[in-house]
Chains A and B, each alone.
Chain A
Amino acid sequence: MKTIIKTFLLFSMILVMSSCESFLKEDPKGKQMVETFYNTDIEAFDGLMGLYSRVTNDANGLKQNFIVRSEACSDLLTYKPVGAADGQSFPKYKLSPGNVPLIQIWNHCYSAIYGANSYILALSNNTRSKISPEKKIQYIKEAKFFRALMYYYLVMFWGDVPLLTEPTNMQNTNIARTPAIQVWVQVLQDLTDASTLPEKKDTPNGRISKGAVLTLLAKVHLIQNDFNSAKQVLDQISGYSLMADIYDVWSTQSKYNNESIWEINIDKGILPLQGNPMLSYFLPLYADFQGTNATYPVNDFLLIMTEKDSPRTKLFYSKKLLSSEVSANYKGEYKYTTDSGEEKSIIFTNATEPLYSHIMKFTDFSTVGTKFEISDCPFNLIVFRYADVLLMKAEVECELNSTMNTSLAYLNQIRKRAGETQYSLTNEIGLRQLNNQIEMREAIRNERALELVGEGHRFFDLKRWGNEYALAKLKASRTAQIQGTTFCYKPEDLTNIQEFRLLWPIPEGEINGNSLMKQNPAY
């Protein structure tokens, strides 16, 4: 018996030693694979939401860096002297290929482009899919809009960039730069394809509608100085109007209002937390804002242009101190009106940098009081709004020189709503007179600065008006100074304002990893 047991054990041992290949199969439970996704309407929709997530919910893109970094390169903002060197490099025009936010922006654009490319390919090529044809067509249009949007930012920041319209082959990642002009062709193509999306009224909130596509399309035409095409596109943007009261534009009570063309929803009390990280670059130091450090306050060049105590100025900026007001006890102040009409004021008690004025316009104090965290706040981010369209219309009319009156009408809509002095082509009392097209042009350009400050358009506007114009404005902004206050630009910052720096340097990782990549000149 014993022998039998032992023999049995020995044989079972030998049996056990024999191989069993399936044991080593990796079990990807709970994981979604690229190859097996995108088959049904729901999967296609969730794939699209993945693109929305990348494009609208990433601090390296629209939610923060696209806007704050480009705005910092404009003539409207300055920097906090104790801020991080990388952050200061934008307004100081000292960008290097190793700059971290710069690298993040580049990486973000291409990551979103890869996502859009692989999404478009997956949807177009999927023969066994159960996706309804209308959904498929609509989702691909939205994906194409995002691809165009990313290339828009890439070209505006870097000029010629690698153009990819299909998922990258990972075995060959050396890709040369495509001339900007050809990239614009692709962008126009994608936007034209997407421009048949439904109007905003037929689109769920937050999704891309025809209006958003056309706004971007108009901007691309303007960049190419194609005013006729721009006019054609702008005229198609319909169904929007200015909010009567400028306080309602960003009010949490009027999200998705009639002025908003494309808006990214941000809300408090959602987990994972959905904040508005952009605010921390603009808002001042103040205990109740938590986590804010005002990397980029506004500069005196902008403040000189504002009309003191107009509703727009009062909404947009915290109070700028005059030298006579500087004392150990005074720190900075912002006044706002609550819903019940009560006037309130916030004193920035623990601010150590009191001498700056800050952009406050995105923050709706009246509904949430002063206690909020950047990581958890309800302030939506409006990417495109009708005021921008109106000003583009004014510009197009002015450039086409058809009738200055049309242009003036658009411009004055903005001025009126801002509560600031309107313009006139004749000598009217109480109005500012514009004598010719040149003055009109400059008025429109300045108005874009005043109305759209902090919204991420100014740097691109300056560039499309020509490098010479941009450099002049940038230099003027770095020497402008309100009498009696300290200004954080240093004289040497002016010497960095050079034409080649209007294009950012290609990030170092790209240069090192891509043998066909060439650096922008002079870097």
Chain B
Amino acid sequence: MYRSSAGVRRGSLLFIGLVVGLLAGAGALPAVAAQTGPAAAGTLVRQAAVQEVRLPGVEPPTLDPGLAEDLAAVEVIKQLFDGLVELDASGNPTGAGAASWTISSDGLTYTFTLRNGATWSDGRPVTAQDYAWAWKRNVSPATASPYANAFFPIKNGQAINDGELDPEQLGVQATDDRTLVVTLERPASYFLSLATTWTLFPLRQDIVEGYGDRWTEAANIVSNGPFTLREWQHDTRIVLERNERYWGPKPAIARATYTLFPEDGAEQMLAAYEAGEIDTTGAGVGSSLPASQLDRIVADPVLSQQLKNFKQSGTYFFIVNHRRPHFQDVRVRKAIGMALNRRELLDDVVKQAGDPASGIQPEGILGRQPAAWPKEDTATARQLMTDAGYPNGEGFPEITLTFATSATTRLVAEYTQQRLKDVLGITVKLESMENAVFLRWRRGAEWERSGDLYRASWFSDYEDPENWYNHVWDSESDPGVYNAGWQNAEFDRLVRQAQLETDTARRTALYVQADQAMAADYPHIPLWHDEIRSLVKPYLKGYVPARVLGVTPLRAMSVDPR
């Protein structure tokens, strides 16, 4: 059909203009609104009156203490909320939300007396019911909390989470507004450490039920910690403000701004630090200084003075598949562990901070016996392989080292491949997988059947040996954790006994024996204990991230006025 070409052209032009205009408008309007941003980058004027600190962060998947499992989430949650207890510098529990507590002689009943004057950020007092309700809500299968197993030591905790009992049956009761009685399933001297974790923080029933999924948005959230959530601009920034109603010592910091970076954002954080937009490169997710810049930083007269090292309660290791016949011999496993040069790997290859590990459990975990674990020794390693029947690696099958790809892990894998070839003569094939595929694979039958080694890590949720020996290495927990198939009857016996032991000295002794048993059996290949290397501006005082999960000690920090 004929159409006037001029008409077509005019009409087309109009439509094109309309669409382009719409698209531009969709972009332009928010741009106008975004003109009011925070103070321009690079201004370093600090007023003595308002102490403000600017930190790097990563968008937390959630700020709900019952649903959090992620470092990014825990970092913020621990500023916003207080639990019953917290651990002091020496690792002893001190009261936070609870002023005092008593433990029954059989170790099964804990009675907490809540602190007078502890309030929520909206003024309402924190009551025992807030704790009781929160715990019942978090253990309920309907909430689907990834840390519901924190409640398993409590009476009926596991049964409730299995769906067999109603959450009301949980062994926790608010006998009055300020008294919380907890009944345990069996003695657990680590319970107070457990109580420092976020799943056991109190929650406000009216807020959580009233706002549903949105209760953690800045406009709705109510918290009981030293800081409140002033602003959460998703993927952009989180602003915390000092809670003036807080019962405890008033933090020097009045305002903390987290600028949110992508995960693996170490380069971006460093650039922001050097541009003066943040006060430290941090100690959380993706915060370690990028390997590509380390030499330059160390050589820089100004930056080298701002370098700090922070130990963390975590270890990296290779998990060994114990179902594979060639890994049954402990001499093979030891040979592999002893053949690596971890210092060279850390300093020269990946250029990361870290403490070369002989054993698996890091500093701060009672019972660890690093001396009992074999040391790096290439000659002995070769000898062990020969003794095991594989002189110079002859006859040893090709093994696969699997990992989820990242720049660092790739280098670790390539280094290991070459090193094991050079020292032991064994051939390692590398297999890098997409992250989600890898995480699913290591739980499945294919890993069990044909996998050899994969790179993994564990970071303490709380600094208690139970979180390592029982939670991770007990053969009963193994299928849900690393699925390595390692079983040592002696080790299991020791740690299960230790779990129930209430006397500290006896408990420690049991864990010492367990660590020695583990060292003798060398089930997995320790790599290094985690350390964070960070840049900290000289005017930022008191920045010592916690060993557990690198949490920023905001309440203890201050900014030097200029």
Q: Do chains A and B stick together as partners?
A: no
Give chain A's interface residues, CB within 8 Å of chain B.
Answer: none
Give chain B's interface residues, CB within 8 Å of chain A.
Answer: none
